[in-house]
Structure 1
Amino acid sequence: MTVRRAPKFVPFMAIGAILGFLAALVVAYTGPADPTLTRESILGFFTVAFAIPGLLLAALLVLIFDRRSVRKAERARAERTYDDDAA
Protein backbone atom coordinates (compact mmCIF):
# COMPACT_ATOMS: atom_id res chain seq x y z
CA MET A 1 0.00 0.00 0.00
CA THR A 2 1.29 3.46 -0.81
CA VAL A 3 0.89 6.17 1.80
CA ARG A 4 1.21 9.83 0.88
CA ARG A 5 -0.17 13.22 1.82
CA ALA A 6 -1.97 14.56 -1.24
CA PRO A 7 -3.42 18.08 -1.45
CA LYS A 8 -7.11 18.56 -2.11
CA PHE A 9 -7.78 20.24 -5.46
CA VAL A 10 -11.06 22.06 -4.79
CA PRO A 11 -9.92 24.16 -1.78
CA PHE A 12 -6.80 25.32 -3.63
CA MET A 13 -8.79 26.31 -6.71
CA ALA A 14 -11.47 28.03 -4.62
CA ILE A 15 -8.83 30.09 -2.83
CA GLY A 16 -7.30 31.05 -6.19
CA ALA A 17 -10.68 32.21 -7.49
CA ILE A 18 -11.41 34.13 -4.27
CA LEU A 19 -8.03 35.87 -4.42
CA GLY A 20 -8.76 36.79 -8.04
CA PHE A 21 -12.13 38.23 -6.98
CA LEU A 22 -10.49 40.25 -4.20
CA ALA A 23 -7.95 41.63 -6.68
CA ALA A 24 -10.83 42.56 -9.00
CA LEU A 25 -12.62 44.25 -6.11
CA VAL A 26 -9.57 46.39 -5.38
CA VAL A 27 -9.05 47.32 -9.03
CA ALA A 28 -12.74 48.09 -9.66
CA TYR A 29 -13.27 50.33 -6.64
CA THR A 30 -9.91 52.10 -6.41
CA GLY A 31 -9.53 53.04 -10.05
CA PRO A 32 -10.81 56.24 -11.64
CA ALA A 33 -14.56 56.48 -12.14
CA ASP A 34 -15.89 56.13 -15.68
CA PRO A 35 -19.18 57.91 -16.38
CA THR A 36 -20.20 55.37 -19.03
CA LEU A 37 -19.73 52.27 -16.84
CA THR A 38 -20.88 51.43 -13.35
CA ARG A 39 -18.48 50.14 -10.71
CA GLU A 40 -20.41 46.86 -10.66
CA SER A 41 -19.94 46.27 -14.39
CA ILE A 42 -16.23 47.02 -14.02
CA LEU A 43 -16.15 44.59 -11.09
CA GLY A 44 -17.82 41.90 -13.21
CA PHE A 45 -15.30 42.34 -16.00
CA PHE A 46 -12.29 42.24 -13.71
CA THR A 47 -13.73 39.31 -11.75
CA VAL A 48 -13.70 37.22 -14.92
CA ALA A 49 -10.30 38.63 -15.89
CA PHE A 50 -8.68 37.85 -12.51
CA ALA A 51 -10.63 34.91 -11.04
CA ILE A 52 -10.05 32.55 -13.96
CA PRO A 53 -6.26 33.06 -14.02
CA GLY A 54 -6.24 32.82 -10.21
CA LEU A 55 -8.08 29.52 -10.42
CA LEU A 56 -5.70 28.23 -13.10
CA LEU A 57 -2.59 29.29 -11.16
CA ALA A 58 -3.92 27.60 -8.04
CA ALA A 59 -4.62 24.43 -10.05
CA LEU A 60 -1.05 24.50 -11.37
CA LEU A 61 0.25 24.96 -7.82
CA VAL A 62 -1.77 22.01 -6.51
CA LEU A 63 -0.49 19.85 -9.37
CA ILE A 64 3.08 20.74 -8.38
CA PHE A 65 2.34 19.88 -4.74
CA ASP A 66 0.67 16.64 -5.83
CA ARG A 67 3.69 15.66 -7.93
CA ARG A 68 5.95 16.33 -4.94
CA SER A 69 3.76 14.16 -2.70
CA VAL A 70 4.04 11.29 -5.21
CA ARG A 71 7.84 11.46 -4.95
CA LYS A 72 7.73 11.44 -1.15
CA ALA A 73 5.25 8.55 -0.97
CA GLU A 74 6.15 5.67 1.29
CA ARG A 75 5.28 2.00 1.12
CA ALA A 76 3.41 0.51 4.05
CA ARG A 77 1.95 -2.85 4.83
CA ALA A 78 -1.62 -3.15 6.03
CA GLU A 79 -3.10 -6.26 7.55
CA ARG A 80 -6.77 -6.96 8.09
CA THR A 81 -7.74 -7.57 11.69
CA TYR A 82 -10.91 -9.26 12.78
CA ASP A 83 -12.56 -7.81 15.86
CA ASP A 84 -15.74 -9.49 17.07
CA ASP A 85 -16.65 -6.54 19.32
CA ALA A 86 -16.61 -4.02 16.44
CA ALA A 87 -19.65 -5.54 14.78
Structure 2
Amino acid sequence: MPSQRQITVRRAPKFVPFLVTGGLLGVIAAAIFGYGGTIPDGYTREAVFGYFLVLFVAAGVLVGGVVVLIIDRVSVRRARRATVEELPDDDDGEGSAS
Protein backbone atom coordinates (compact mmCIF):
# COMPACT_ATOMS: atom_id res chain seq x y z
CA MET A 1 0.00 0.00 0.00
CA PRO A 2 1.59 3.33 -1.06
CA SER A 3 2.13 5.91 1.67
CA GLN A 4 1.44 9.61 1.27
CA ARG A 5 3.11 12.55 2.95
CA GLN A 6 3.13 16.33 2.79
CA ILE A 7 6.18 18.22 1.49
CA THR A 8 7.01 21.89 1.05
CA VAL A 9 7.97 23.06 -2.44
CA ARG A 10 9.77 26.38 -2.93
CA ARG A 11 12.37 28.04 -5.13
CA ALA A 12 15.30 28.97 -2.92
CA PRO A 13 18.08 31.28 -4.13
CA LYS A 14 21.70 30.16 -4.20
CA PHE A 15 23.79 32.19 -1.77
CA VAL A 16 27.21 32.10 -3.45
CA PRO A 17 26.23 33.95 -6.67
CA PHE A 18 24.76 36.81 -4.63
CA LEU A 19 27.89 37.07 -2.47
CA VAL A 20 30.20 36.96 -5.49
CA THR A 21 28.13 39.57 -7.33
CA GLY A 22 28.27 41.87 -4.30
CA GLY A 23 32.04 41.42 -4.14
CA LEU A 24 32.46 42.17 -7.85
CA LEU A 25 30.35 45.30 -7.55
CA GLY A 26 32.61 46.28 -4.64
CA VAL A 27 35.68 45.86 -6.88
CA ILE A 28 34.10 48.10 -9.53
CA ALA A 29 33.23 50.73 -6.93
CA ALA A 30 36.77 50.57 -5.53
CA ALA A 31 38.24 51.09 -9.00
CA ILE A 32 35.99 54.11 -9.59
CA PHE A 33 36.83 55.71 -6.24
CA GLY A 34 40.50 54.67 -6.20
CA TYR A 35 41.43 55.73 -9.71
CA GLY A 36 38.82 58.41 -10.37
CA GLY A 37 39.57 61.04 -7.77
CA THR A 38 42.51 62.92 -6.41
CA ILE A 39 44.90 61.13 -4.08
CA PRO A 40 46.20 62.48 -0.78
CA ASP A 41 49.86 63.44 -0.49
CA GLY A 42 52.12 60.55 0.46
CA TYR A 43 49.88 57.83 -1.03
CA THR A 44 49.98 56.06 -4.38
CA ARG A 45 46.96 55.27 -6.53
CA GLU A 46 47.49 51.58 -5.81
CA ALA A 47 47.44 52.17 -2.05
CA VAL A 48 44.22 54.18 -2.31
CA PHE A 49 42.70 51.50 -4.56
CA GLY A 50 43.74 48.77 -2.10
CA TYR A 51 42.13 50.63 0.80
CA PHE A 52 38.89 51.10 -1.11
CA LEU A 53 39.06 47.52 -2.39
CA VAL A 54 39.00 46.06 1.11
CA LEU A 55 36.29 48.46 2.21
CA PHE A 56 33.95 48.10 -0.78
CA VAL A 57 34.37 44.35 -1.31
CA ALA A 58 33.46 43.71 2.32
CA ALA A 59 30.47 46.05 2.03
CA GLY A 60 29.40 44.47 -1.28
CA VAL A 61 29.51 40.94 0.14
CA LEU A 62 27.54 42.13 3.16
CA VAL A 63 24.87 43.77 0.98
CA GLY A 64 24.72 40.68 -1.26
CA GLY A 65 24.18 38.54 1.83
CA VAL A 66 21.37 40.76 3.09
CA VAL A 67 19.69 40.72 -0.33
CA VAL A 68 19.83 36.92 -0.60
CA LEU A 69 18.44 36.56 2.93
CA ILE A 70 15.51 38.82 2.03
CA ILE A 71 14.84 36.87 -1.16
CA ASP A 72 15.09 33.60 0.77
CA ARG A 73 12.57 34.86 3.34
CA VAL A 74 10.16 35.81 0.54
CA SER A 75 10.55 32.36 -1.01
CA VAL A 76 9.66 30.74 2.33
CA ARG A 77 6.44 32.76 2.43
CA ARG A 78 5.59 31.74 -1.15
CA ALA A 79 6.22 28.05 -0.47
CA ARG A 80 3.43 25.64 -1.36
CA ARG A 81 2.45 22.37 0.22
CA ALA A 82 2.14 19.26 -1.93
CA THR A 83 1.16 15.66 -1.32
CA VAL A 84 3.50 12.99 -2.62
CA GLU A 85 2.92 9.30 -2.85
CA GLU A 86 5.65 6.74 -2.44
CA LEU A 87 5.76 4.19 -5.23
CA PRO A 88 6.91 0.64 -4.57
CA ASP A 89 10.41 -0.33 -5.73
CA ASP A 90 10.66 -2.25 -8.99
CA ASP A 91 12.46 -5.37 -7.71
CA ASP A 92 11.89 -7.55 -10.78
CA GLY A 93 14.68 -5.86 -12.75
CA GLU A 94 12.55 -4.29 -15.48
CA GLY A 95 13.78 -0.92 -16.63
CA SER A 96 17.21 -1.24 -15.05
CA ALA A 97 20.36 -0.95 -17.12
CA SER A 98 22.57 -4.02 -17.03
TMscore range, shorter length: 0.7 to 0.9
Match of 1:27 in 2: 33
5+ unaligned residues in a row in structure 1: which ranges?
none
Superposed, 1:1-87 pairs within 5 Å as: 1-81=7-87, 82-83=89-90, 84-86=94-96
CA distance in 2 between partners of 1:67 and 1:18 (Å):
24
CA distance in 2 between partners of 1:7 and 1:20 (Å):
21
Return 74-83 or 42-51, whichever deviates more: 74-83
Identity %: 47
Q: CA RMSD in A?
A: 1.6
5+ unaligned residues in a row in structure 2: which ranges?
1-6
CA distance in 2 between partners of 1:40 and 1:18 (Å):
18
Higher helix share: 1
Offset at residue 78 of structure 1 (A): 2.3
* Equivalent residues, number: 87
Structure 2 letter corresponding to 1:57: V
Larger radius of gyration: 2
CA contact 2:39–2:48 (8 Å) conserved in 1: no
SS in 2 for 1:85: coil
Length-normalised TM-score, structure 2:
0.79
Runs of 4+ in 1 over 6 A off after TM superposition: none
